[in-house]
Structure 1
Amino acid sequence: MNTRYLDEGFPLLHWATEVEAVCPKCNEVGVFSGNPYWKDWHATFFCHGCSHSLQTDRDGWHGPVLGMGRRPCSTCGHQWVRVEKVFDDASKINGESTKSKCPQCKSENEVSLKFTRTEPTDHAIDPFFGLELALKEDTRHGTVWAYGATHLEQLKLYTSAQLREGDGTKWSYFTRHPKWLKTSKNRKMVLKAISKLEKRLITNKGSG
């Protein structure tokens, strides 16, 4: 077991140069390669199962979105008939409005929606298109996940370390970890989940 881990303060996106994700076409595993920094934000996805591909300069967000809207009731004038709903797949949204009942008179109203990107509770999606990550493992406390081999390797080193050092910057990926992932009493459980993820890797350690 490692005795020390030095947190260099990298944000999560530092490891998003290579991401293993679930293909939206065939549910097999594919890989993103790209640049996650905003000045040169781009990525391509290639499925190892069906050869489906995605490109950031061509394809839109496929992940979850939050649709929000409000309007006065068309029947009784009550303000407001509100909608706040998460849609799991932005690419499958049909139209830009939905029906909602007035809380006053119970009549149905057509409410126009505005959409913003959001994340599932476990945050286990890629940052480019919002596809489900291939490297995710549920535990009794939450989901252990990683973008790819290099990310997973660093997560393992951090988890197994008896002493964790670093600058503690608020942007650090490890600083922003949920408490259940940091606590030593869950170390064995988290390492077990990481071991399962290592067996499913299709990218190589040290790449990206």
Structure 2
Amino acid sequence: MQARHIDNGYRLTYYAEQSIVCCIECGTVGKVENEHQYRIESERKVWCAKFVCKHCQLSLVKNEDQADWVGQCNLIGDCPCSFCGTQLTANEEIISSYKQALPSTIAIDCSNCGKTNTVPVERANKYQRYDARLAIDADFGFLFSYKYPADLAKFGHLIRTI
């Protein structure tokens, strides 16, 4: 008897072999190619993905060693208030992390004493701001191409070139 499927929180597009996305650099339509690679020495499955834009040559890779992310990300951090000692927690959403210098500190007002403190922050986890409800690619954070208004000439070109 086959075991039941356990929902691990990923939507079906996470397991797609190809995703049609819009390049964040030039806005043209491209594809993310995904593949499983089996590591014999460790006997485990590794999910790899790559994106190369045919228009602007933007190249991104996701594998064991490297995980490029161009979508939204969260910055998190915590430290005690320098005036009263209350624990402060920073959680700030950055709209896009592509070609944007992320701040290393965030100014937060203490809820106890009202003084402004500087909290050191760092990027959250590897899937920076992946939300299954958003129309984004799970590997790099690109917007799916169907997120934009339909243009038949654009999709006709897509079918011929991809």
TM-score (norm. length: structure 1): 0.54
Partners of 2:103 and 2:22 in 1: how far apart? 26
Match for 1:45 among 42, 51, 57?
Answer: 51
Partners of 1:75 and 1:108 in 2: how far apart? 9
What residue identity is the alignment partner of 1:84? Answer: N
What residue identity is the alignment partner of 1:131? Answer: F
What does residue 24 of structure 1 align with? 24
1:111 offset after TM fit, Å? 1.2
1:107 offset after TM fit, Å? 2.2
Q: Secondary structure at the match of 1:135?
A: helix
Partners of 1:128 and 1:14 in 2: how far apart? 8
- CA-to-aligned-CA distance 1:131-162 (integer Å, 9 cap, x gap): 12112268xxxxxxxxxxxxxxxxxxxxxxxx
Whether the 8 Å CA contact 1:100–1:109 is kept in 2: the answer is yes
1:126 pairs with 2:137: yes
Partners of 1:122 and 1:111 in 2: how far apart? 30
1:76 offset after TM fit, Å? 2.6
- CA-to-aligned-CA distance 1:28-75 (integer Å, 9 cap, x gap): 222111226881311111223322221224552222222222222112
Partners of 2:50 and 2:84 in 1: how far apart? 50
Which 5+ residue runs of structure 2 have no aligned equivalent?
A: 1-10, 38-43
Higher relative strand content:
2
Partners of 1:83 and 1:14 in 2: how far apart? 29
Which 5+ residue runs of structure 1 have no aligned equivalent?
A: 1-10, 139-195
Q: 1:132 to 1:13 in 2, by over 3 A?
A: closer
Q: 1:14 to 1:68 in 2, by over 3 A?
A: closer
What residue identity is the alignment partner of 2:135? Answer: A
Partners of 1:29 and 1:70 in 2: how far apart? 40
Match for 1:111 among 107, 119, 122?
Answer: 119
Q: Secondary structure at the match of 2:145?
A: coil
C-alpha RMSD over aligned residues: 3.1
Whether the 8 Å CA contact 1:87–1:93 is kept in 2: the answer is no
Partners of 2:76 and 2:36 in 1: how far apart? 28
Partners of 1:54 and 1:19 in 2: how far apart? 14
Percent sequence identity is: 23
Match for 1:56 among 51, 56, 62?
Answer: 62
What does residue 33 of structure 1 align with? 33
- List structure 1 segments (4+ residues) > 4 angstroms apart after TM superposition: 196-200
1:12 offset after TM fit, Å? 0.5
What residue identity is the alignment partner of 2:137? Answer: D
The 5 Å alignment of 1:47-196 reads 47-57=53-63, 58=66, 60-77=68-85, 79-91=86-98, 92-114=100-122, 115-116=124-125, 117-119=128-130, 122-136=133-147, 196=150
Q: 1:61 to 1:36 in 2, by over 3 A?
A: farther
